[in-house]
Amino acid sequence: MGAKDYFFDTRLKSWFFRTFVNALPFDRLENTAEGLAVCKAVLDAERSIVIFPEGTRSITGRLQQFKAGIGVLAVELDVPVIPVYLHGTFEALPKGTSLPRPAHIEVRIGLPAEFSALKAERGKTPPAELYRRAANDLRARVETLSQH
């Protein structure tokens, strides 16, 4: 998934990200329901989705807060989410640069997290709170991976 307003804002970028990255546009600003439907279709086709829940590259290289959108996907689509920590990406492509630098990238993969317990709270807890809790839980899991 790629931010529609960033990765698909010109015909050239749209073509590049669809062709070489296999990215699909996700409207993170307005039509969340449409984005959820696209994600569900991809998952129903037994394909994976890669999402960077911080929403943008960090200007310091430190882990940022996760956007609630990852919580929406986790709770509403009721699918396991695999937390992944990437170390070295800041050195490879700091925010504000467009050409990657040579760098060692380390990938740490956690156990799948499921959120059926949060989904069961629907109707008793405001959805925004459930989504934020799911996002915070996932961030804590990635933070734990960063410390190993």
Q: 110 and 144 in contact (C-beta within 8 Å)?
A: yes
Tens digits of per-residue pLDDT, 64-108? 999 888 898 899 888 899 999 999 999 999 988 889 999 999 999
Residue pointed to by tokens 């467009």: 98
Residue pointed to by tokens 């999402």: 51
Q: Please state, in angstroms and rounded to a whole number, the distance separating the CA atoms of residues 19 and 59.
A: 28
Q: What's the pTM value of the predicted model, to 2 decimals?
A: 0.83
Token digits of residue 63: 């882990």
